[in-house]
Amino acid sequence: MPTPPQAAPRLDLLRPGGAGPGIQAWGVAALLLATADALASRFGAVAVRGEIAGFMRASSGHCYFTLKDADGAPALLRCAMFRRHAVLSNVQPSDGIQVEVRGRLAVYEARGELQMVVESLERLGAGGLYEEFLRLRARLEAQGLFDAARKRPISAHPRRLAVVTSAAAAAWRDVMAVLARRSPHVQAVLVPSLVQGAEAPAQLVDALARAAALPGVDTVLLVRGGGALEDLWAFNDERVVRAIVASPLPVVCGVGHESDVTLADLAADLRAATPTAAAELAAPSRDQLALDGEQRQRRLQQAVQRQWQRHEQRLDRIALLLGQRAQVLLALQGRLDLLEQRLRRALTQRLERETQRQDAAAQRLGALDPRQVLHRGFTWVEDADGGPIGSVHRVRPGQAVRTVWSDGTATARIESTQPASP
């Protein structure tokens, strides 16, 4: 990684030694310092236009990138923008943009390379490749290829993963290292393909189809390490994007570094920042699975215990309710027995009263019975139909009547009548 150049010594203070006849011999460091001094003296502050490629921001805050010739000539200039200038910049550097940088030329002694120490930069416009990226992204996005609604969930417990990448790529080794460390129960199958160059898109499309056809595969991983925009361009190819969308299995895409975004990332069912992150997202760790299992078991036990307690409480409430109802039934039974006793007593008393009344009525009736009068020597007279003759006015001379005594009857005829005087 380039570092800030040290102050170069003045040429007239150098003391080269070991020179042959007519030739001045330099030490390597001394020559590089002298070259840097000459560049600083010859060029001073310079401004250069070009397209940024291979941009990287170090943890120190320093920025490093390559400036490509804006006219497409095969020329590269390595650049370093140190933190004190990067934090003051109004432009966020990224691959593919056209910029004008200002600074000074220097020599990076550790590799003997020419570099430009950038003190400021201004954006001129997106590079041709980046403009093509933006146009293709807008068109595919309008067709719904990046819609979140069409993306599928990743298997939570995969058993077999298909990894589409180059067999020689560090991405394949990163995936295998992650699985060996975190998820040894998950099998990974390499589906080899070129990941860079003109033939890479067609091979990636074919590899994605072969990966989805493998038996027992739950998820497809499409991975590759970082690089400049042109290095990752195969993952911006429309054929690759459509192959990801058409895949019958969910695809996790982990291409480049965290700051790299390709169209394949946008089309994938799940985007990972790096190949390592893709493996971590596609296959949960065995320790986490064990912990999740223990937590689920505890939750299940707690749920069963709560359900059991609810049933016990329900049974207690039912038993209490039954006890209360039994007490009510006993109380009702007691009341019924009391009412029955009262009813029996009332009926008995009423029956006794009715009997007494009937006896009294019978006695009164018997006392009023005309036959009782006959026993005292009286008689009564009745007509031929047996109706009583209670008045002299109800008979006439010559009428046959019957006289009744207590011991018999006699038939008589009326000779004459004599009403009583008023």
31-74: per-residue pLDDT in tens? 888 888 888 888 888 999 998 889 999 999 999 999 998 777 78
18 and 101 in a single domain? The answer is yes
Q: Is pLDDT of 311 > 50? A: yes
Domain assignment present for 91: yes
- The CATH number given to whatever domain includes residue 27 is 2.40.50.140
Domain assignment present for 239: yes
Q: What is the structure's pLDDT at 8?
A: 41
198 and 100 in a single domain? The answer is no
166 and 112 in a single domain? The answer is no
175-218: per-residue pLDDT in tens? 999 999 998 989 999 999 999 988 999 999 999 999 999 999 99
Domain assignment present for 147: no
State which residues form the domain around 331: 290-368
214 and 280 in a single domain? The answer is yes
Contacts of 295 (CB under 8 A, 6+ apart): none
206 and 179 in a single domain? The answer is yes
List residues bridging with 107 in a β-sheet.
114
Q: What is the structure's pLDDT at 146?
A: 95
Q: Is pLDDT of 354 > 80? A: yes
Question: H or E segment at 101?
Answer: strand 97-108
Q: What is the structure's pLDDT at 67?
A: 93
The type of residue at 102 is R
Give the residue from 180, 207, 415 showing the smallest Cα distance to 283: 180
% of residues, the chain, pLDDT over 70: 90
Domain total of the chain = 4
168 and 279 in a single domain? The answer is yes
Q: What is the structure's pLDDT at 3?
A: 44
Q: What is the structure's pLDDT at 12?
A: 45
- The CATH number given to whatever domain includes residue 273 is 3.40.50.261
Q: What is the structure's pLDDT at 231?
A: 82
Query: Last residue of a domain, which of 104, 126, 148?
Result: 126
Q: Is pLDDT of 355 > 60? A: yes
187 and 227 in a single domain? The answer is yes
Q: What is the structure's pLDDT at 22?
A: 64
Domain assignment present for 81: yes
* C-alpha dihedral (304, 309, 311, 317), degrees to nearest 10: -170
Domain assignment present for 357: yes
236 and 170 in a single domain? The answer is yes
- Rounded Cα gap, residues 220 and 251, in angstroms: 5
Answer for the pair 80, 45: CB distance below 8 angstroms, yes or no.
no
196 and 247 in a single domain? The answer is yes
- Rounded Cα gap, residues 227 and 197, in angstroms: 12
Domain assignment present for 4: no
280 and 294 in a single domain? The answer is no
Query: Last residue of a domain, which of 126, 152, 168?
Result: 126
Contacts of 272 (CB under 8 A, 6+ apart): 223, 252, 253, 254, 278, 280, 281
Query: Last residue of a domain, which of 103, 126, 149?
Result: 126
Q: What pTM was estimated for this model as a whole?
A: 0.50
Q: What is the structure's pLDDT at 379?
A: 82
Domain assignment present for 248: yes
Domain assignment present for 419: no
303 and 359 in a single domain? The answer is yes
351 and 381 in a single domain? The answer is no
